[in-house]
Structure 1
Amino acid sequence: MKSKRTLAALLAIFLFISVIAAGCGSGKSEKTTGTRDEDALDKLTLQTKWLPQSQFMGYYVAAEKGYYEEEGIDIEILPGGSDIIPEQRVYNGTADVGITWVSSLMKYQAGGWDLLQVGQIFQKSAMLLVSKTSAGITSPSDLAGKKVGSWFGGNEYEIYALLEANNLDREKDLELVQQDFTMNQLLSAGIDAASAMTYNEYVLLLESGLAESDLNVIDMNDAGVAMLEDCLFVSKEWMAENEDLFVRFLRASIKGWADACADPEAAGQIVYDADQSVSLEHQIRMAKEVAKLVVPEGFDPSKIGYIDMDAVEQTADLAYKYGLLSKPAVISEETITSKYWEEAAAQ
């Protein structure tokens, strides 16, 4: 009787050990397959400047291809809009990283906001003045006596610089008028020349049925008055606690942008799938134009996100000269730094 009880006890112990061993084996198997507990990912929110569109395709591509997850990041891309100011969202902690124009960021920095520029995605300005060939505007001097559309709200300073560089008084020599975010005023001949971004409003004109030969274009880059646009920025307080997280975010983003610029058709499809607010055709055409800003002709793709300090200085000079800034911008390690880009690009 005693031997039977002993045998039963030994059997019970054997079964218990087997169960424990099986459980441990299961956990080891999960770890070796590379699966990751979602709770282990570091959360990061990115505030864009506008609605979901191919202007931001590099981030959507990186998210879709799992580049952020590979870096241990659970990213949330927050859409912008006419009532959303990225600088405010980052400053108050609603978002971790923001996208804005460099001149706009400088304005907030000059106001005492502790914001830091940490990457430059667009290497060229996308701002154009577009007119129908029938208006006869083939050079800036031809703007004299014409109605010229501007969005204002911080978007007018390249136009101001263009006019002064060509000895045109913006108060006397032409009429600057408020332009909406469609191209209807130009199409209906309400204005002679319209502001347009290469990747959006200019594309809308072509989609309306006009051919490139029907349009004349003044490019701010060619005119020597370009100001930098889409950059990445953070609050200094957030960065002080999240340097490693930001470097991982930037590394994944650079990878996404490289893929997007190499295959803008696929990138346009990814953005369209994320938010079908405009047509697939428009997203793809936009993506092709955005790629030219991120990786311009002759630009090394390995330098995506690089901050060109000469271009920053030009933006600062124009912003001060034409009244966006009340005093010269402070350009130092306190307002702009490339060290995180250098770390991300090196790995």
Structure 2
Amino acid sequence: MKNASKIKTFITALSLTGAVMASAPAFALDEVTYGTNWLAQAEHGGFYQAVADGTYEKYGLKVTIVQGGPQSANRSLLIAGKVDFYMGGPLGEMDAVKQGIPLVDVAAIFQKDPQILIAHPDQGIEKFEDLAKLDSIFMSKDGYVTYFEWMKKNFKGFSDAQFKPYTFNPAPFLADPKSSQQGYLTSEPYEIEKQAGWAPKVFLLADHGYDPYSTMITTQTKMVEEHPDLVQRFVDASLEGWYTYLYGDNTAGNDLIKKDNPEMTDGQLAFSLEKMKEYGIVDSGTTLEKGIGCMTDEKYKSFFDNMVEIGIEPADLDYKKAYTTQFVCKGVGMDLKK
């Protein structure tokens, strides 16, 4: 009887242990923060998709997206170690190398920067070079010292006399048919057509030689060195999120975008997605064979050389410290493409 009692007690203990284990999570998720460069929008869609549909959790991650915006300082938060990853860009990381700040790009979501110049229709502006005929080009100060310097260096006819400050108000452009304005492929053309009732001529700088990557996954060099597995899991899950957002059911991602940014509309989301696909912003060139997020030494060097040519970066900069290709170009997520 004593043995029977012991066996019964043992079985009861096993049952209780099993119940506790069944109620506990299989494993603890690694908590990760990703800081974006603006308010939630379709251009961030793959990250939101991976949160919304559980892709990050599948990779053992609990990801919080920290929205950017007019008053945000997400890049500074990355430098300070307050966020783990940031939506950076090659110029920012090259400047970080110059300043001795250890930041590194680990994936390039946008193969093409969506920076555009737009013009009025029916003004004889049919080719990129025709923009040199216009009296005014409204652009930001950053645009003036980067891509406009590149334009002057590589095309005839552009001059400083054309520069007009862009205040992110399209009214001066709309009022002057002999002008052009900077914009984002996925944004300004949509708003202008809504306001003016006509579609502007669109010139994507990336299709004319101004070729930076954009919408990066950027982190501290220390993260890459000390936690490469976590970096790889975040990159891989993000890439799967982008494939689903572009080619699958992105309802969950869009719902989460609208939750974070209530001013976002279904019309804007649909337009942005259409243009990202039409122009190959995310999936084109190298990514067609090696997967979204891919970076190559050749393309990174091409942009660096352009920046050296216009005096933005010094020729002796060790720009290769600004990125690593170890986490990308592995075809992750390509099976989700339909």
Asked if these proteins are the same fold (TM beyond 0.5), I'd say: yes
Would the aligned equivalents of 1:43 and 1:75 in 2 still touch at CA under 8 Å? Answer: yes
Aligned counterparts, 1:284-303, within 5 A = 284-291=270-277, 292-296=280-284, 299-300=287-288, 302-303=290-291
Counterpart in the other structure of 2:179: 192
Would the aligned equivalents of 1:136 and 1:142 in 2 still touch at CA under 8 Å? Answer: no
Secondary structure (helix, strand or coil) at the match of 1:100 reads coil
- Give the Cα separation in 1 of the matches to 2:98 and 2:239: 29
Which range moved further: 14-23 or 45-54? 14-23
Q: Quick one: structure 1 residues 181 and 126, their matched pair in 2 at CA, closer, same or farther if it must change by over 3 Å?
A: same
Would the aligned equivalents of 2:117 and 2:203 in 1 still touch at CA under 8 Å? Answer: yes
Q: CA RMSD in A?
A: 3.0
- Give the Cα separation in 1 of the matches to 2:93 and 2:205: 20
Query: Deviations 1:140-161 (Å, cap 9, x if unpaired)?
Result: 2443451101122367522321
Q: Quick one: structure 1 residues 265 and 176, their matched pair in 2 at CA, closer, same or farther if it must change by over 3 Å?
A: farther
Counterpart in the other structure of 1:240: 225
- Give the Cα separation in 2 of the matches to 1:124 and 1:329: 23
Query: Deviations 1:324-345 (Å, cap 9, x if unpaired)?
Result: 324454233x332111225684
Would the aligned equivalents of 2:31 and 2:62 in 1 still touch at CA under 8 Å? Answer: yes
Would the aligned equivalents of 1:86 and 1:100 in 2 still touch at CA under 8 Å? Answer: no
Query: Deviations 1:79-122 (Å, cap 9, x if unpaired)?
Result: 11234354322111011111122122212222211111211111
Find runs of 4+ consecutive structure 1 residues off by over 6 angstroms: 9-15
Query: Deviations 1:219-271 (Å, cap 9, x if unpaired)?
Result: 21332233322222111122222111111111110100111111476344442
Secondary structure (helix, strand or coil) at the match of 1:125 reads coil
Counterpart in the other structure of 1:335: 322
Counterpart in the other structure of 2:72: 84
Which of 103, 107, 119 is the aligned partner of 1:115?
Answer: 103
Q: Structure 2: give runs of 5+ residues left out of the alignment.
A: none
1:163 paired to 2:163: no
Aligned counterparts, 1:63-102, within 5 A = 63-102=51-90
Letter in 2 for 1:242: H
Would the aligned equivalents of 1:272 and 1:283 in 2 still touch at CA under 8 Å? Answer: no
Secondary structure (helix, strand or coil) at the match of 2:44 reads helix
Counterpart in the other structure of 1:314: 302
Secondary structure (helix, strand or coil) at the match of 1:164 reads helix
Letter in 2 for 1:97: F
Larger radius of gyration between Structure 1 and Structure 2: 1
Would the aligned equivalents of 2:37 and 2:88 in 1 still touch at CA under 8 Å? Answer: yes
Counterpart in the other structure of 1:250: 235
Q: Percent identity?
A: 16
- Give the Cα separation in 2 of the matches to 1:297 and 1:314: 15
Letter in 1 for 2:136: K
- Give the Cα separation in 1 of the matches to 2:167 and 2:249: 28
**What is the TM-score with the length of structure 1 in the denominator?**
0.83
**What is the TM-score with the length of structure 2 in the denominator?**
0.85
Would the aligned equivalents of 2:134 and 2:178 in 1 still touch at CA under 8 Å? Answer: no
Q: Structure 1: give runs of 5+ residues left out of the alignment.
A: 1-6
